Amino acid sequence: MTPQSPRTLFDKLWQAHVVHEEPETPTLLYIDLHLIHEVTSPQAFEGLRRRGLRVRRPERTVATVDHSIPTKRGPIQDALAAGQISTLERNAREFGIALYGTDHPQRGIVHIIGPELGLTQPGMTIVCGDSHTSTHGAFGALAFGIGTSEVEHVFASQCLLQQKPHSCEVRIEGKLSPGVGAKDVILALLARIGIGGGTGSVFEYTGPVVRSFSMEERMTLCNMSIEGGARAGMIAPDDTTYAYLAGREFAPAAFDGAVKKWGTYRTDDGARYDTTITLDVTDLGPMVTFGTNPGMGAQITAAVPDPSAIGDASQRASLQKALEYMGLRPGSRLSGHPIDVVFIGSCTNARINDLRQAAMVMRGKKVAPGVRALVVPGSYAVKRQAEAEGLDRVFVEAGAEWREPGCSMCIAMNGDEVPAGKYAVSTSNRNFEGRQGKGSRTFLSSPFTAAASAVTGRLTDVRSML
């Protein structure tokens, strides 16, 4: 490829960050922003100490506590969680890294505060020791999760060895109906391609639906790219992106100049993706998962699929196993299935727009008897905004719990768990066996669907309530 050839957004960002490449070996990429948290960083810091190294670019490294932090005020009961948090505090001090710690007014889930602070910007390479780093691709960044040993490598060198993925255009066509949003779109994509459908690729989301999405919706879409096996998800920046970033704490001081440059981060006319997937969402209804991975999903109006109708033996066995775990009968309707817990939160759906949608449905209503509903804002900034708009009162008056920011029930931390055998409707991104507590059964959904289900006590098609 010559420099003049039309290039995809992914190719442009990849090429701009190559430090060294050789045939048949991974490429060494420069990393612009390294986000860290309390769970995947301790061993990496220990590795630096053992080797007598410092963090190469502490000013390009930003820490927060989110996974292990309790979402109720008061002392941390879980000794392991308390240890992880105090270890990060010590490491951040020792290595000169900015920490959005426990009581910091801008603390929150790492994938929510990066964009909120304006740290996440178009054209960047961004890594974090967390799978859902793909979220930041919504800004036209190349962002992906890395493992602990890679965290140490980035600490030491600000670079990372990476095999170049393929480019895959995911074109979203059509027009969404009221009550159907980005979470439904990504669950529909995953239901279509499966959890391995994007393996080895970077998704670039294109098309009129994506262009019409807010930044919050774009982040929801990119967040779950990883669930389709993609290394990252990205969306070319546009006026929506620039309007979101303008005035943020770490947005460039010379903003207009930055916007001019960011405008070049788009796929050129005539550039070729390795593959293209087209999804028409005109007839899409609210989606829920019925199985034990995010690709096992269907419209809420559908019936639970029947494994005996599947020809492939391993897929049949996998669905059979998932339905047994979920306690669901093939052919039964998803809509109307009783539920026990509702979780509105996580890096997928705990931004202000998500909470506004949930509050729109719950306003003036009560959480159904016997259902526990937990609303966990993604950051203190989201919490403050929600409280300024009175959303917290809507939730509390409905009988839901209103918590401090954190990952919470997404990973069953600090007692924010779904009891064994119980059903949760969750706006998070993973429904694996035991993800929300040992024996927990998770239906993934949008905030609209979660809120509607909270007030009826059953999986509910929100369109009947709007």
Q: Per CB under 6 A, which region of 154-162, 303-311, 333-341, 403-411 contacts ligand SF4? A: 403-411
User: What is the closest distance, in whole angstroms, from the C-beta atom of residue 89 to ligand SF4 in the complex?
Assistant: 19
User: What is the closest distance, in whole angstroms, from the C-beta atom of residue 436 to ligand SF4 in the complex?
Assistant: 10
User: What is the closest distance, in whole angstroms, from the C-beta atom of residue 104 to ligand SF4 in the complex?
Assistant: 17
Angle between helices 391-398 and 352-362 (to 10 degrees): 40
User: What is the closest distance, in whole angstroms, from the C-beta atom of residue 214 to ligand SF4 in the complex?
Assistant: 19
Q: Out of 428, 445, 446, 456, point to the residue binding ligand SF4 (CB under 6 A).
A: 428
What backbone torsions phi and psi does residue 338 show, to the nearest 5 degrees? -65, 150
Q: Per CB under 6 A, which region of 275-283, 359-367, 385-393, 404-412 contacts ligand SF4? A: 404-412
Query: What is residue 33's three-state secondary structure?
Result: strand
User: What is the closest distance, in whole angstroms, from the C-beta atom of residue 131 to ligand SF4 in the complex?
Assistant: 7
Which distant-in-sequence residues (6+ apart) come within 8 Å of 202 by Cβ? 10, 142, 165, 166, 167, 168, 230, 231, 232, 233, 234
Does residue 442 belong to the site contacting ligand SF4 (CB under 6 A)? no
Measured from the CB atom, is 186 or 347 closer to ligand SF4?
Answer: 347
Instruction: Return the structure tokens found at 185.
Output: 């779109």
| Residues of span 331-370 touching ligand SF4 by CB under 6 A | 346-347
Does residue 410 belong to the site contacting ligand SF4 (CB under 6 A)? yes
Does residue 128 belong to the site contacting ligand SF4 (CB under 6 A)? no
Closest CA to 175 of 87, 65, 283, 270: 283
Encoded amino acid at 217, one letter: E
Encoded amino acid at 17, one letter: H
User: What is the closest distance, in whole angstroms, from the C-beta atom of residue 407 to ligand SF4 in the complex?
Assistant: 3
CB 395 within 8 Å of CB 402: yes
Does residue 167 belong to the site contacting ligand SF4 (CB under 6 A)? no
User: What is the closest distance, in whole angstroms, from the C-beta atom of residue 159 to ligand SF4 in the complex?
Assistant: 24
Does residue 138 belong to the site contacting ligand SF4 (CB under 6 A)? no
User: What is the closest distance, in whole angstroms, from the C-beta atom of residue 308 to ligand SF4 in the complex?
Assistant: 34
| Residues of span 20-79 touching ligand SF4 by CB under 6 A | 66-67
Q: Out of 132, 136, 183, 218, point to the residue binding ligand SF4 (CB under 6 A).
A: 132
Integer Cα distance of 191 and 199 in angstroms: 15
What backbone torsions phi and psi does residue 347 show, to the nearest 5 degrees? -70, -10
Measured from the CB atom, is 300 or 350 closer to ligand SF4?
Answer: 350
CB 21 within 8 Å of CB 27: yes
CB 285 within 8 Å of CB 184: yes
User: What is the closest distance, in whole angstroms, from the C-beta atom of residue 39 to ligand SF4 in the complex?
Assistant: 8
Q: Per CB under 6 A, which region of 203-211, 234-242, 351-359, 406-414 contacts ligand SF4? A: 406-414
User: What is the closest distance, in whole angstroms, from the C-beta atom of residue 364 to ligand SF4 in the complex?
Assistant: 29
Closest CA to 241 of 117, 355, 140, 144: 140
Does residue 220 belong to the site contacting ligand SF4 (CB under 6 A)? no
Closest CA to 92 of 136, 48, 130, 125: 48
Q: Out of 11, 38, 116, 130, point to the residue binding ligand SF4 (CB under 6 A).
A: 130
Does residue 222 belong to the site contacting ligand SF4 (CB under 6 A)? no
User: What is the closest distance, in whole angstroms, from the C-beta atom of residue 345 to ligand SF4 in the complex?
Assistant: 7
Using CA of residue 149, residue 153, residue 158, residue 162, what is the dihedral sign? negative
Instruction: Return the structure tokens found at 407.
Output: 């990952």
Measured from the CB atom, is 32 or 130 closer to ligand SF4?
Answer: 130
Integer Cα distance of 243 and 299 in angstroms: 33
Does residue 7 belong to the site contacting ligand SF4 (CB under 6 A)? no
Q: Out of 407, 450, 452, 459, point to the residue binding ligand SF4 (CB under 6 A).
A: 407
Q: Out of 353, 429, 436, 456, point to the residue binding ligand SF4 (CB under 6 A).
A: 429
Measured from the CB atom, is 12 or 37 closer to ligand SF4?
Answer: 37
Q: Per CB under 6 A, which region of 228-236, 266-274, 335-343, 407-415 contacts ligand SF4? A: 407-415
Question: How many residues lie near ligand SF4 (CB under 6 A)?
Answer: 13
In the Cβ-directed half-sphere of 306, how many Cα atoms lie within 13 Å?
4
DSSP notation for 250-291: TS-SSHHHHHHHHTT-SPPTT---SEEEEEE-TT---EEE-S
Integer Cα distance of 50 and 268 in angstroms: 46
- Cα-Cα end-to-end distance for the chain: 51
Encoded amino acid at 276, one letter: T
- Tell me the chain's radius of gyration from C-alpha atoms: 21
Q: Which parts of this chain interact with ligand SF4 (CB under 6 A)?
A: 66-67, 109, 111, 130, 132, 346-347, 407, 410-411, 428-429
